[in-house]
């Protein structure tokens, strides 16, 4: 059931949008005022969509109802819609009436295994199986807002179809939070299945809400913006013995502890911190079954965050070297393995320079800010490795609230100020228009 919404902003009916599109089709160039008017017209529907998606979240590679809803909405817009890409992805193509480049706009669609605690009237009560346990499911990262804003941008651009100098590819991408173990998914699988071979864009744009940005503020960073993420696993192999006679075996617990400390010296003492930051975190230690038995082995799992491809490889080498040498010094062994995750998300320098004026115009009285490097990771990075990409942020905390005090992304209390969503609609649609006009 869709939640109702009322707003004090200017709202055009569907007839009003039709008249706007007819007037534009008569030959007038799309003025920014008309783009803003079209965005205001779709604002109530954007919020209604956001609430539906928020109430019906699904985990990565399981976004079946989400995909069906997206396809239904996009088909009602008379767009060319393709479903089933990378399992549950949906894309739609809008062809302008003038020749020009292809612009891709991307939103992610999956939820998280988080039990919602917001108390919203449209809060999620969904549950799902995750790693063998029944968990709550929530759009705790704002992907519900991303989908709704991109749908809103589609309606705005359709109203300006006669003036579009090229094509717009709307990408609704599944599994941004990571495919389940043993499965493929997300942007990487979309590309592997030939998405950019079939619809080769000249540029790709995406945005993310939250991330502790101030209310209704646009933030964008040139060059590296979000970290590469990798997983490492170290199995420390010792020799079991009684806890009262440690000299009768090789203690992998103490050795693993020394490895944890040794790994911290890689980022703090071995890498040039003036070049780029990096993080090595051990998040899981497991081993042993009883208080007085020294076990045969201990397992460490951790995450690596980096912003430079060469440093990324160097960190892997140093982790393996550190773990092996410490283990050898104790008479133990260390088996080290890595799972490569998302690469660095890099905002193309030329595209940033060209499109910053667009974002500044959309931001109006609020200055566009340059955020700090974000040590989170994003698989938008795969798209941005193929074609020039620009990824920016939108602050969605309520006005007057310190963003550092607000629940952050992935919190069971995470929420968005829905009055800000129109800014995302305006930004996405005007980036597409300006890129086409400038290229």
Q: Which residues are catalytic?
A: 342, 418
Q: Which residues contact 307 (CB under 8 A, 6 or more apart)?
A: 224, 227, 228, 276, 277, 278, 344, 373
* Per-residue b or e along 108-143, where b marks 16 or more CB atoms closer than 10 Å to that residue's CB: bbbbbbbebebeeebebebeeebeeeebbbbbbbbb
DSSP-derived secondary structure for 123-158: ----EEEETTEEEE-B-TTSHHHHHHHHHHHHHHHH
Q: Which helix (H) or strand (E) holds 32?
A: helix 32-55
Residue-wise DSSP of 89-109: EEEEEEE-SEEEEEEEEEEE-
- Count CB neighbours of 89 within 10 A: 27
User: Please, are residues 67 and 89 in contact by the beta-carbon 8 Å criterion?
Assistant: yes
Nearest-angstrom CA–CA distance, 415 and 396: 8
Contacts of residue 19, defined as CB under 8 A and 6 or more positions apart, other chains included, come to none
Q: How far apart are CA 16 and CA 14, in angstroms?
A: 5
Output phi, psi for 134, to 5 deg. Answer: -80, 125
Query: Is 46:421 a contact under the CB 8 Å cutoff?
Result: yes
Residue 403: half-sphere exposure toward Cβ, Cα within 13 Å: 16
DSSP 113: S
- Helix, coil or strand: residue 59: coil
How would DSSP label each residue in 408-423? Answer: PTT-TT----GGGHHH
- Render the burial of 313-332: b for 16+ CB within 10 Å, e for the rest: ebbbebbbebbbebbeebeb
In this structure, what are the phi and psi dihedrals at residue 39, rounded to the nearest 5 degrees?
A: -65, -40
The C-alpha torsion from 353 through 357 and 363 to 365, rounded to 10°, is 120
Q: What is the DSSP string of 159-218?
A: HTGGG-EEEEEEEEE--TT-PPTT---HHHHHHHTTHHHHS--SEEEEEEE-TTPPTT-E
């Amino acid at each position: 059931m869709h939640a109702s919404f009322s707003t004090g902003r200017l709202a055009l009916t569907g007839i009003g949008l039709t008249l706007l599109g007819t007037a534009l089709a008569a030959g007038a160039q799309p003025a920014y005022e008309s783009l803003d008017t079209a965005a205001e017209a779709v604002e109530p529907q954007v919020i209604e969509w956001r609430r539906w998606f928020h109430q019906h979240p699904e985990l990565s590679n399981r976004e079946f109802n989400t995909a069906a809803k997206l396809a239904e909405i996009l088909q009602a817009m008379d767009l060319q819609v393709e479903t089933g890409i990378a399992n549950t992805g949906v894309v739609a193509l809008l062809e302008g009436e003038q020749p020009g480049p292809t612009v891709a706009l991307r939103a992610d669609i999956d939820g998280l295994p988080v039990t919602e605690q917001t108390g919203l009237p449209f809060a999620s009560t969904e549950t799902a199986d995750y790693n063998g346990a029944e968990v709550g499911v929530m759009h705790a990262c704002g992907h519900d807002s991303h989908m709704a804003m991109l749908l809103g941008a589609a309606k705005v651009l359709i109203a300006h179809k006669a003036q579009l100098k090229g094509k717009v590819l709307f990408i609704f991408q599944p599994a941004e939070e990571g495919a389940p173990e043993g499965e493929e998914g997300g942007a990487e699988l979309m590309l592997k299945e030939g998405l950019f071979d079939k619809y080769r864009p000249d540029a790709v744009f995406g945005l993310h809400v939250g991330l502790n940005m101030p209310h209704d503020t646009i933030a964008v960073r040139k060059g590296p913006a979000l970290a590469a993420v990798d997983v490492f696993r170290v199995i420390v192999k010792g020799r079991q013995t009684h806890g009262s006679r440690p000299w009768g075996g090789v203690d992998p617990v103490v050795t693993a502890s020394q490895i944890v400390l040794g790994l911290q010296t890689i980022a703090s003492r071995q890498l040039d911190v003036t070049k780029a930051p990096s993080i090595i975190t051990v998040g899981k230690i497991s081993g042993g079954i009883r208080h007085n038995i020294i076990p045969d082995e201990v397992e460490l799992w951790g995450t690596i965050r980096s912003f430079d491809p060469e440093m990324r490889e160097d960190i892997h080498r140093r982790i393996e070297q550190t773990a092996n040498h410490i283990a050898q010094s104790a008479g133990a062994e260390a088996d080290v393995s890595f799972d490569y995750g998302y690469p660095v998300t890099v905002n193309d320098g030329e595209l940033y320079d060209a499109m910053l004026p667009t974002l500044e115009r959309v931001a109006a009285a609020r200055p566009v800010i340059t955020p700090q490097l974000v040590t989170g990771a994003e698989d938008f990075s795969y798209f941005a490795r193929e074609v020039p990409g620009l990824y920016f942020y939108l602050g969605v905390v309520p006005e007057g609230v310190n963003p550092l005090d607000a629940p952050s992304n992935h919190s069971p209390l995470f929420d968005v100020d829905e009055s800000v969503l129109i800014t995302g609609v305006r930004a996405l649609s005007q980036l597409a228009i300006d890129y086409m006009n400038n290229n």
